[in-house]
Amino acid sequence: MDIGNSSIKIALISGEKIFKVKRYNYLKDNFEKTLSRILIYKRNEFESIGVSCLNIKYQKILSKIIKKKYSINPFFVKFNNHLPIKLKYEKSLGNDRICSAVAASAKYKSKNSILIIDFGTATTYNLIINKVFIGGLITPGILTSLQSLNSRANLPLADLTNINKLITNKTKTNILSGIIHQSLFTTETIIKMLKKNYKNLFVIATGGLAELICKKSCLINKIEDNLVLEGINYIIMHNK
């Protein structure tokens, strides 16, 4: 289970094969109700439950519901878990960033320099060099930027849709072009700067809005839809 800031992603994993992937959006005031509704798997379909969730309150709700439904203690990803990579970072590092770094390092063993860009509520840039997470950047996510602009500026409301033209002659498409290309140009500039310092940098995109940017950029090598979920699985296997 990957518990993000605005969505919950669940899946079953056998070995390294992932299946039955489902994503659910939730509001902060109905997390428990949403969680109770989406736990659709039967107890005989799995032997353990791994969770990436930074919110302590949500962790307590998760434990309570999972124990009641499945009579099992969930495994929560933590900074001090036994990991196949090293973390050169303070203990506030998000669990999702740990998971994606672990999965990328495991899946692309031959790559010494990896940049993971997670396009979610925030857009995070995560740099792994020789199996060591050395740091990154955090910027506002694409949808977060759009919502902020919609709420703070006297402009027409715009929904997030893909747009191909840079320059348009309508205010709503001006907004969309600005938000999307701002993220695209920021992403490409960061990649180009890092490539100057790290030879053969391999760039992976993940997160719900990754495809929106990847369609416009030739600097991203791979899209991985389920990197966090796969990372949870790798971490569980290293902590048995």
Query: Which of the residues are catalytic?
Result: 96
CA angle 55, 161, 154 (to 5 degrees): 80
Q: Copy the structure tokens of residue 13.
A: 């994993």
Beta-ladder partners of 25:
7
